[in-house]
Amino acid sequence: MQNEIVNEIVYAPAHPDPRAGHDGVRFETRLGTTGAPVGVAFTSLDKLVDALGGAQPWVAVPLSRLRLIFGAAGITQVALDPASDADLPRWDVDEVLALSRTMEEKPHG
Residues 84-99 have a mean pLDDT of 69
Pick from 49, 60, 61: which is nearest to 90 by CA?
A: 49
C-beta atoms surrounding 67 within 10 Å:
19
Number of domains in the chain: 1
Say which amino acid occupies 66: L
Task: Please tell me the predicted confidence (pLDDT) of residue 21.
Answer: 76
What's the whole-model pTM score? 0.78
Class of residue 41 by CB neighbours under 10 A (exposed 0-12, middle 13-18, buried 19+): buried
Task: Please tell me the predicted confidence (pLDDT) of residue 2.
Answer: 47
Grouping H, G, I as helix, E, B as strand and the rest as coil, residue 26 is strand
Question: In what helix (H) or strand (E) does residue 65 lie, and over which residues does it extend?
Answer: helix 63-72
Task: Please tell me the predicted confidence (pLDDT) of residue 75.
Answer: 97
For residue 64, the enclosing domain spans 2-105
> What CATH number is attached to the domain comprising 11?
3.40.1350
pLDDT digit string, tens, across residues 19-73: 777 778 889 999 988 999 999 999 999 999 999 988 899 999 999 999 999 999 9
Give yes or no for residue 3 having a pLDDT over 50.
no
